[in-house]
Structure 1
Amino acid sequence: MMRGLVKGNNAFVPTAALRAAVRSGVDVAALLVTERGRVRGDSDIVFDGAPVHASGAVRLTRGEDGTVWVDADLPRTEETITRVLLVASTEVGALRDAHGLSVEVFGPDGSTVVAYEVTDAGDETAMVLAELYRRSGGWKFRAVGQGYVDGLTGLARDHGVDVSEAPRETPVQAPAPVTPTAPVAARAEAPAQPQAPTRVRRPTREELLDMTQEQIRALAMEARASAAEAPDAPAAAALPVQLSRPSTGRWRHGSDFTPRKLRGRENDVVTLDGLPPGVVLVELDVTGPGYTGMWPLDGNNKKLRYLVSSTIDDFRGRVVTTVPEDGRLRLRLETDGEWRLRVAPLSTAPLLTGKPLKSRGPDVLRYTGGPVDVVFDYEGDSNFIVHLFELAGHDDLTRLPSQGTNAVNEIGRRKETVPLPAGPLVLRLPASDGPWSVRLKDPGAHGGESYAGGGGGVAKVLEPRAVLSWLRRGR
């Protein structure tokens, strides 16, 4: 048995960047809750489908041996968050079958701060294993071990998670009907009997998800024209559709596949076979000081253009690269520390929404809304670069356009507002060694995060919930 706390015990931990290892191959998530013991929304749930909290304070990665690592940067945790819960669940069987289920917390120097091994799990399929919580100006760790026979549904409901399957609906302004302005004489000669208006077929939700912004705008124009032919018709007939926002699962660029994970130490060459050809997301997490470099290798084992070249300690970052047609990705890593590597679909990159994102190091972001202004706040001293790739009209769904737009290229601390065109977009931050944040500026004023235009009538945006994929595992 691991030496440490028993169920119900607690102990102070350093107010620092800690790493928690959850062992036994179970599904793991972290819930960030307020003093009421409830999440503020889906974004406060960190799981493999959304592995980084918007604040950047909590991050989740899975090792090759089934260990799940939860990085909790306690000083960066928002003040309204009072507890970070470590949650385990199973898709098959009960937690009593998860031999060696445990949590071990490591300090910044890599030494064990506190540990807890679950020894009394029963028929539960979900459990709050432990929690990090604020106390007396610092932070403590508590061995909780509270199980839920009704699975993640019960656990989630107890902590304020909406467990319903329905997508979120948000009202947005849709194009207003246009009243025809025919001359008076022409109106006098008009026939007394009104002509039947042209009917616009109501597209299905799936059809809307597959439509481009231009197609949706054309549909809105048809709806306005139809309304103009029947000015006395009810206002609801002006736009008889619901505009649906593309979700993470409907992101059309890049192939879908199960993420691949590797871990190792110091310099190495890694090979991943059987990947779908095309653009993929590569996440690299290094523990330790010194230089970190990563390059893709060509068929002759020659380095191509570098993906990572950084001198920051404890490097973390996301980049994109292209898998060759043979489905074999080879990467050269140069580092002095332990590293963890994850190759995932481009659709798993963070989605830029109305909520601010904070991070450090290179990253890849997605945007799917309308024209909007975005604010970057960079706190580092080195180069900060943002490349913008417009995907609308780009036919090759497996690759990014060959040319991107240089949206930001500055040195040193910088706060800059950049206008973004309508999505879908990929924003690549290849050079950003210091902390940075990004947020939409007045998204509602520009139609951000929807495909509706400006105007009069109100439509509804359906927002699919990625967290449902986590909830369904343990029901």
Structure 2
Amino acid sequence: MIKGDNAFVPTAALRVAVRSGVDVAALLVTERGRVRGDADIVFDGAPAHASGAVRLAEGEDGTVWLDADLAGVEEGVDRVLVVVSTEEGALRDARGLSAEVFGPDGATVVAYEVTDAGAETAMVVAELYRRSGGWKFRAVGQGYVDGLTGLAVDHGVDPDGEPQELPERIPVPTPPAPAQDLAEAPTPAETQPGAPLLRPTRDQLLNMTQDQIRALAQAHAQARADAPPAATAPPVPEPDPSVWACGPVFKPRTATGRDNDVITMKDLPPGPVMVELVVEGEHYTGLWPLDDSNVKGRYLVNSTEKDFRGRVIAFVPEHGRLRLRLEANGPWQVRILPLAEARRLTENRLESWGPEVLLHTGGTADATFHYKGSSNFIVHLYRLAGHTDPTTLPERGRAAVNEIGARKETLPLPEGPLLVCLIAADAPWTARLKDVRPHSSGRNADSPTKQPVPRGARGWLRRARD
């Protein structure tokens, strides 16, 4: 990838290798691009986020590993920033500065090498961010000449320095006139209550000293402390702590055509995959796997609905060649996707049509379905906790739901990770979770899991302030 490129990545437990012997940190930020507090800074002094979804570990040859379980990232976090900095010299001296993302199977998903670093001493190298119900990776490469302090202020981190007076001459934007001196404008301390604080532009921040930036951050921190308390958000369910593998990770494949056909996808990693089928037509739609003798297996799709669409699970043989028999009357598209890209069940209302593969990663919960069709509505569950073989799925057992006709159904779910597969659902439906509880797997209720005590922004910024 080159700077500015982006690509979808699986919503799974990914590993990011950051190379070149630099200091590495991760910032978990909201939609506004700001951390919610010191706990959202993951660095060598606090190498694990309290949620357990993001962790840092030192490797060999100057590599730092950032583990990001995207399925377990809290709903309030919109992006995970991969941040690097250097104690001595500039980042242009860091040869081979790069970020490479590996999937659960150890294969490279995306990679980005920084080739244009200059005098910066800190940089947002890359970010993992939410998009269209999944996650994407972006090659950012945004450097900061003013180091970690400037990067911190841009992302809502309070440097926690000693209060200092703002120097008299800091350029401050005052539209429509050009930037004016701070001496001609009210300082943060003189601003009337409720008035907006001064916010320098990025270019102006680059011209400020570290003392000026600290003082400005202190003023903003004081304003936040003086603001009326916001409504307390409901607790976010704790992500699943157990290790799991959910099929192979690979780049999605697409095939298109019209009417009846045999579809062959080669060079796929063996194991369970999602088959996404969309057909434009008013007649029967059927889909079957073919074995090496071209004998049909059990049907994957069996529908008479107009304009069929849905996702089902198929298994790629060891030789990596998946063959499917499709019966359709009209144009169609087939996509082969990793199971890790399954849509996630949350407490938000999910609307869709047709069979679907959903992923639940929280603790015990109730799943409420509203099915609006007149045919079969069948749901199977695959418990993935502790399942570490990416080439298989655990036994699904009996159908959790097997009904006919429009209905509302509430299904108690065990702890995740869990695949919730709507095997038959030839009509619109909605789904949402309620009464989601924290995970208890592998824990003693009287002895909660210990987490590293964060040292906060002061510890992270120590290199910039010494």
TM-score by length of 1: 0.45
- Determine which structure has greater relative contact order: mean sequence separation of CA pairs < 8 Å that are 6+ residues apart, divided by chain length: 1
TM-score by length of 2: 0.46
